[in-house]
Amino acid sequence: MSTNPHHPPLLGPADPAAVLPRLLALLLLALAAVAMPAASAQGEPGQSNLLELSSFPRSTLTIHSASSPAAHVFRIWLADTPPRQQQGLMFVRDLPAEEGMLFVERQSRVWGMWMKNTFIPLDMLFIDSRGRVAAIFERTVPHSLQTLSWPKPVKAVLELRGGETARRGIRVGDRVDHPAFRGKNPA
């Protein structure tokens, strides 16, 4: 093999100590190039398409339970638009016992809910247009893609911290007091 004195050989003997850092740098660059599009496609936290939870309207909701003389008052976020409903409580790491999110529509419909990108178990209460709890799914599984649905049309779904319905004695048939169930603006 002949070598050109003006150009070092592209391949050939090399000091392993000099090659290893270059290979490591190339490997890290390749991994970063592969990981970046995947993170964007999954809508990871910090992506511009996520809404700040603080931008969701807030309201108060009360559940009157036949099994308890005390009313259960929750401070809720309203998921009242398609973008808010698509995001819901995704990426939330903690939900205080007295807080929740109400997914609400003007007209009743059959709702399908899932737990994609949801890090905490939730109780989901399906609520009819009269404000009665029609169904409860307790302690839903974080990150599950299983659709949770009640076969009859309901006006809203309330998400609470997992275990709250059992802890408070909330049951199917209990009455939910909120403007969304009085034919008024839900905010």
Query: According to the CATH classification, is domain 53-181 in 2.60.120.1140?
Result: yes
Q: Which of 32-36, 115-119, 124-128, 137-141 has the lowest mean pLDDT?
A: 32-36
Which burial class, exposed, middle or buried, applies to 132 when counting CB atoms under 10 A from its CB (0-12, 13-18, 19+)? middle
Per the structure block, which two tokens stand in for 45? Answer: 């936290």
Rounded Cα gap, residues 67 and 100, in angstroms:
21
**Cβ neighbours of residue 100 under 8 Å, at least 6 residues apart?**
61, 74, 75, 76, 77, 158, 159, 160, 161
Q: Do 117 and 93 contact (CB within 8 A), yes or no? A: no
Q: What is the pTM of this model?
A: 0.73
Q: Write down the domain spans for the chain.
A: 14-43, 53-181
Question: How high is the pLDDT of residue 181?
Answer: 92
